[in-house]
Structure 1
């Protein structure tokens, strides 16, 4: 398996994986990704920005995620407390794996390969992610991969007013102790 940056040629497979994720969430009666988010425009922008990565095996994309640097508008306000303050972080959004390969631990593999790269990147002190309160499978994967639950965030800035997600953060090996304001515990 290989983790690489996505190209526009990958868009059809990425859209298929996102569609599979949307359908799986709907089948579980989870109101996440049930509207127009994430749409083709967002996925194209992610690729053009250089944010999308794909997990690939034998020329088949098995998983995808958007790794976004900088201040995330949805993470500006939190009911709770981030582990870090005033520290550079990456946000992970739009994580999905192929429905044809469920049960292989691909989400965990995707996260581990990301962390291998992120932990060696200078100036990144933490990684933040969020998910729907009913998405127990993603919560399990997030916690299993070293994230600590930090509170809830409002998704109004992402165009989803009235929606609140659970927020998580994971410190990197580069975390500056002066920026760490809360104890990292996995719940």
Structure 2
């Protein structure tokens, strides 16, 4: 199992995983991803810009996420306080894992692989993410991955709904101040 940049050939599997995620959220009566977002255009744009990463085993995409360099327009205004206060962060969006492998800890493995890649870039101080207030499962995964609550942000990517998501940030080793004697 390894993480790599997505290619256009991965789009059908990524779209399938996103559709499974939408259905899973709908089954839980969570009003996240229930409009037209994320759509094919957004996913293609992420891949073409080199933002999408996929967790792969053999030829199967097990999970996907968009890792987007700052600044993120949804994160410019927060009701709360970010841990980092400049543009030395990346944002993780559109996290989803295969319904065929749900319950196998893939989200944690996906995050761990993303963190390892981000840590290799010493100029990144923080990692930001948000999720819907009703998405308790994702909130648990985010906190288990070491993120801290930072407040709420208005979701700007989904123009069909007005949602204020819970926001989180995790410092990288570059963002942690080392105390000296």
Query: Does the 8 Å CA contact 2:131/2:139 hold for their aligned counterparts?
Result: yes
Paired residues in the alignment total 178
Unaligned runs of 5+ in 2: none
- Report the more deviating stretch, 150-159 or 127-136: 150-159
Summarize the alignment of residues 1-187 of structure 1 with structure 2, pairs less than 5 Å apart: 1-156=1-156, 158-175=158-175, 177=177
Query: Does the 8 Å CA contact 1:87/1:126 hold for their aligned counterparts?
Result: no
Q: Offset of 1:159 from its aligned partner?
A: 2.5
Unaligned runs of 5+ in 1: 178-187
Q: Offset of 1:141 from its aligned partner?
A: 0.5
Q: Offset of 1:122 from its aligned partner?
A: 2.1
Q: Offset of 1:66 from its aligned partner?
A: 0.2
Q: TM-score, normalised by structure 2?
A: 0.95
Distance (whole Å) between structure 1 residues aligned to residue 56 and residue 124 of structure 2? 25
Q: TM-score, normalised by structure 1?
A: 0.92
Deviation string 1:10-60 (CA, Å, 9 cap, x unpaired) is: 000000000000000000000000000000000000000000000001210
Distance (whole Å) between structure 1 residues aligned to residue 130 and residue 173 of structure 2? 21
Query: Does the 8 Å CA contact 1:74/1:158 hold for their aligned counterparts?
Result: no
Distance (whole Å) between structure 1 residues aligned to residue 2 and residue 50 of structure 2? 17
Q: Offset of 1:161 from its aligned partner?
A: 4.9
Distance (whole Å) between structure 2 residues aligned to residue 97 and residue 170 of structure 1? 21
Distance (whole Å) between structure 1 residues aligned to residue 130 and residue 66 of structure 2? 13
Q: Offset of 1:121 from its aligned partner?
A: 0.7
User: What is the aligned-residue RMSD (CA, Å)?
Assistant: 1.4
Instruction: Provide runs of 4+ in structure 1 moved above 4 Å.
Output: none
